[in-house]
Amino acid sequence: MRTKAVAATALLTLALTACGAEIAPSGEAAAGSDHYPVTVDNCGTKVTYKAKPARTVTNDVGITELMLALGLTDRMAGYVMPDEKGDLAKVPWKDGYQQTAWLSKQPITKELVLDARADLVFAGWHYGFGEADGFTPQVLAGLGIDSYVLSESCRSGKGPERGVMSPLDALYTDLANLGEIFDVRDRADKLIADFRAQVAAVPQPEHRPGVFLYDSGEDKPYTSGRYAAPEEIIAKAGGRNVMGDVADSWTTVGWESVVQRDPEVIVINNYGDTDAEAKRKFLKSFPPLAGVAAVRNDRIFVLDYVDLVESPRNPAAITALAAYLRSTPAA
């Protein structure tokens, strides 16, 4: 009886293959003709995908981990990112990293994605896409390669500034869109629900300390405005982004504006050639900051780069920062 069942299953598989049906990986909905083509709203543009992408190339760590969190390693040709983005062997999705290829530690290029036989590139403005480098969704479309743009990086259309929605909405939007594009909406919906619950569980204090996000820069600091992930990481953790009135995502401000706003806490973005300890030493020794409450009281907290760009690590970063802020005495 078992032999007959196996034979029948094999014949059915052959018949489905001959008819062009796709045998879906375990836990993934089959990509039948009833799902594709699928259209999503990506940065205000309706984008249509004719079939499920099979060879996606991702750029940068947060973008890559959105794919890994959705269990889409079998739909990836590989990822591009430099060495400075942390120890990938210690992350929640380390198995996913091991199951796909690290294509390059250099900036993403047309030649790289062509060599990878990519059918989709998932990147963002200033996260791989840029006119100066000749690497844009329009250029890729001319090569027959689809694109998806990270929602945190969407341009407003009014100038060079980025950001058109709140950061967590950007995260949930991308998860939902990827769920549609790859026909794994059940997985996406579960992740979104879990993340919303995790964020909602963080207690909100009466006193909301002012927080300054320090990314880099000595002459002028690079920081987060209203539309980068730190805005809501800080807010949902119980703080107040002192640069939250800046209508941009990642941007440069003046030190005088930091001094005027007198943050009670500084969050360091840990990445790059200058490590977190070197950044801390600079902040504590920089004369204009000597009277700022965060420096005076040594209230400096460190998060990793991937915690602070749009990524599935944002909810955990909120929880970690919230615990630190709860230990911060009111001014």
Q: What is the pLDDT of residues 241-263, one digit of tens each?
A: 999 999 989 999 999 999 999 99
Does the pLDDT of residue 209 top 90, yes or no?
yes
| pTM higher than the cut 0.75 | yes
User: Within 10 Å of residue 248's Cβ, how many Cβ atoms?
Assistant: 20
Does the pLDDT of residue 2 top 60, yes or no?
no
Q: What is the pLDDT of residues 261-312, one digit of tens each?
A: 999 999 999 988 899 999 999 999 999 999 999 999 999 999 999 999 999 9
Domain at 205-326, CATH from 3.40.50.2000, 3.40.50.1980, 3.40.50.150, 3.30.70.1230: 3.40.50.1980
Please state the φ and ψ torsions of residue 134, each to the nearest 5 degrees: 65, 30
Does the pLDDT of residue 24 top 60, yes or no?
no
Does the pLDDT of residue 225 top 80, yes or no?
yes
> How close are the terminal C-alpha atoms of the chain, in Å?
77
Q: What is the pLDDT of residues 121-172, one digit of tens each?
A: 999 999 999 999 899 999 999 999 999 999 999 998 777 778 888 899 999 9
Closest CA to 263 of 233, 291, 219, 293: 293
CA distance 133 to 153: 17
Two tokens at 11? 């014949």
Domains of the chain: which residue ranges?
28-198, 205-326
Residue 211: the pLDDT is 98
Does the pLDDT of residue 213 top 70, yes or no?
yes
Residue 272: the pLDDT is 83
Instruction: Outline where DSSP puts E strands in 69-157.
Output: 76-80, 102-104, 120-125, 128-129, 146-149
Share of the chain above pLDDT 70, in %: 87
Residue 328: the pLDDT is 54
Domain at 28-198, CATH from 3.40.640.10, 3.90.850.10, 3.40.50.1980, 3.50.50.60: 3.40.50.1980
Instruction: Say whether 205-326 and 28-198 share the same fold.
Output: yes
Does the pLDDT of residue 11 top 50, yes or no?
no
Residue 62: the pLDDT is 95
